[in-house]
Structures are given as structure tokens and as C-alpha cells.
Amino acid sequence: VADGATTVEVEAGVLRIGEVARSTGLTPRTLRYWEEIGLLRPTGYRKSGERLYAPSDLARVGRIRDLQELLGFSLTEVRAVLDTEDVDVLDRVRSELRDGDPSPRRRRELLEAGVTANDALLGRLDETLARIRAFRDERAASAARMRAALEEFRE
């Protein structure tokens, strides 16, 4: 052990709430609130009550923020959209297989619903992209007008 690392993590890659907060730019309060409403549950707890998060939770945090900030979804809407993610959908397909529902009909339904939801989301993202581009053009024109006014005063 050449470097100064002496603290040992109980489980590898497991993060405490403060570490998740720092690496995502959120506050611990936000993460606790998301848990309160069932949006993001930590993978485990210590006996003391301390929350423990896995790396996959970090990825989920990123997708929640995207839906919230980039598309303006409420947390209820965010949860609905996350239910259509491929990770979740494919997990559900596999767990239904384990639970003894081998009907290909049900599996196809889940996957097709996921694909449909994704297409709707892609549509909204493209709308938002178009709105931002239009707004950026307006602002570029505004800056140009002010620069022109500056030139005018200069003479």
C-alpha cells in the first residue's frame, strides 16, 4: 500500500449520502425527499440508519435530473418515464420469466410499451431542442442590435 489510502470501504463502490450529493450536485435533503416519495431508494442501510448507494443509483440520479431540468417534468412524471427505461423494462421481463409467466405475449407487451414511450420522449426532446434554437437565435439578434447601437454611438 504505497499511497495514503487507509480508510477501507465496507462494501466496494458503495457511497454514503454526502458523497452522492457532492458528485451529483444535489443536497442530502433532496436525496432523502426522493426516497420519501419512492423515486430513488438506496440499495441498503447500515444498522445506524445510514443510507448506502450503489453506482447504479448515481446513474439513475443523472436521468432523473435530465427529465426534471431539461424537460420540466414533475417528479411523478419522472417516475412514470423511468418505468419505461430499458434497464427497468428488461429487468421486469426477466423477473416475470422467473416468476413463471413464460407467455411471449406479455413480454412483447412490456417491450412494445417501452419502445413507444421512448419514441414519445424523443419527440419531446426534439421539440425542446427546436425551442432552444429559436430562443438562441432571438438572443443572438438582440446582441447584434446592441452591438449596432454601440457602433452608432462610437461615431
C-alpha–C-alpha distance, residues 40 and 135, integer Å: 34
Q: Which three cell numbers stand for residue 2?
A: 504505497
By the rule CB under 8 A, 57 interacts with a copy of itself: no
Residue from 86, 91, 95, 101 binding a copy of itself (CB under 8 A): 86
Stretch that binds DNA, among 72-80, 84-92, 124-132, 137-145 (CB under 7 A): 72-80
Q: How far is the CB of 123 from a copy of itself (least distance, A)?
A: 10
Report the SS3 class of residue 44.
strand
Stretch that binds a copy of itself, among 9-17, 21-29, 30-38, 117-125 (CB under 8 A): 117-125
C-alpha–C-alpha distance, residues 71 and 81, integer Å: 11
Can you point out the beta strands (E) in the chain? 15-16, 44-45, 51-53
* CA geometry: angle 132, 135, 140, nearest 5 deg: 120
The DSSP code sequence of 112-151 is HHHHHHHHHHHHHHHHHHHHHHHHHHHHHHHHHHHHHHHH
Q: How far is the CB of 136 from a copy of itself (least distance, A)?
A: 5
Interacting partner of 28 out of DNA, a copy of itself, none (Cβ under 5 to 8 A depending on kind): DNA
By the rule CB under 7 A, 41 interacts with DNA: no
Residue from 34, 67, 81, 107 binding DNA (CB under 7 A): 34
Contact positions vs DNA (CB under 7 A) = 7, 16-19, 21, 27-30, 32-34, 37, 47-51, 68, 74-76
